[in-house]
A and B are shown apart, each in its own frame.
Chain A
Amino acid sequence: MQVQVRLFATYREIVGAGQLAWTLRDGTTVGQLVEAVLAKYPRLVGHGNSMLLAVNHEVVRPDSVLMEGDEVALLPPVSGGAW
């Protein structure tokens, strides 16, 4: 199956793209996808602990199982303003 991986801010700059198409085996979890992404882009590894994960615009736990066509977002810590 294929999912879309969205990357933002620091992560997008590290990877050099804001969106990646990723092919996975059925039953893959979000956590397993993140491990695969970190393996391909090792400069992301130091950010793994503060990464928030969302599937189809909703925050999920790493053990959530992915489905065909899901949009998975790897979100750096939010920094909405300096107010």
Chain B
Amino acid sequence: MVIEIQRARIDVEAVVSSVRRDDAGAIVVFLGSVRSDPEVQALDYEVYKPMALRTLTELVERAKEKFGALEMSIVHRVGRVPVGGDSVVLACAAAHRSEAFAACAWAMDEVKRIVPIWKTEAGPRTPRSRRGRKVP
């Protein structure tokens, strides 16, 4: 299991490799990407890191119990992520694809529901004072 919150670009292949197991016949990978919009050039993500790491770790354990997933890793970016960039990568390994798809979908819903990460849109009308600001 890899649980990380980082400013750097996510290495998708490394996340996939972290869940590979000989007894896993299916690996489902979800990439959450910043979608283009006339008012959006990037998204700024802010995190309460110790709580987010704890919540992510707990939800991975719950996903394994609930769906029989064998392994799961989640990496989330913080700071500014441009349009087209991946802000989250989740990889889930299971014996068969049905468990892997179900666990992946459930875990992503939980990430959006309970993990303390907030986003703000950065676009052409974003005040200069907020552009490129550091987030904790």
Instruction: Give residues in A with beta carbon < 8 Å to B.
Output: 6, 8-10, 18, 54, 57-58, 73, 75-76, 78-83
Within 8 A of A (CB), among B15-60: 32-35, 43, 46, 48, 50-51, 54
Name A's interface SS: loop
- Residue on A with the closest CB to B112? A80
> Complex Cα distance A10/B130, Å?
13
Name B's interface SS: mixed
Task: Please give, as numbers and ranges, the residues of chain B lying within 8 Å of A6 by CB-CB distance.
Answer: 48
Task: Please give, as numbers and ranges, the residues of chain A lying within 8 Å of B50 by CB-CB distance.
Answer: 57
> Complex Cα distance A73/B111, Å?
18
Please tell me which one of the listed residues B34, B54, B117 contacts residue A80 in the complex, with CB atoms under 8 A apart: B117
Interchain nearest-CB distance for A32 vs B (Å) = 22
Instruction: Report yes or no: B111 in contact with A81, Cβ–Cβ below 8 A.
Output: yes
Interchain nearest-CB distance for B83 vs A (Å) = 11
B interface size (C-beta, 8 A): 25
Given A8-B48, A57-B54, A73-B48, check contact A78 B136 (CB 8 Å). Answer: no
Task: Please give, as numbers and ranges, the residues of chain B lying within 8 Å of A8 by CB-CB distance.
Answer: 46, 48, 116, 118
> Complex Cα distance A9/B119, Å?
8
Task: Please give, as numbers and ranges, the residues of chain A lying within 8 Å of B118 by CB-CB distance.
Answer: 8-10, 76, 78-80
Interchain nearest-CB distance for A61 vs B (Å) = 16
> Complex Cα distance A80/B90, Å?
14
Task: Please give, as numbers and ranges, the residues of chain B lying within 8 Å of A78 by CB-CB distance.
Answer: 112-118
* Most chain B beta-carbon neighbours within 10 Å: one of A10, A73, A75, A80: A80
Instruction: Report yes or no: B136 in contact with A18, Cβ–Cβ below 8 A.
Output: yes
B87 on interface, CB distance cutoff 8 Å:
yes
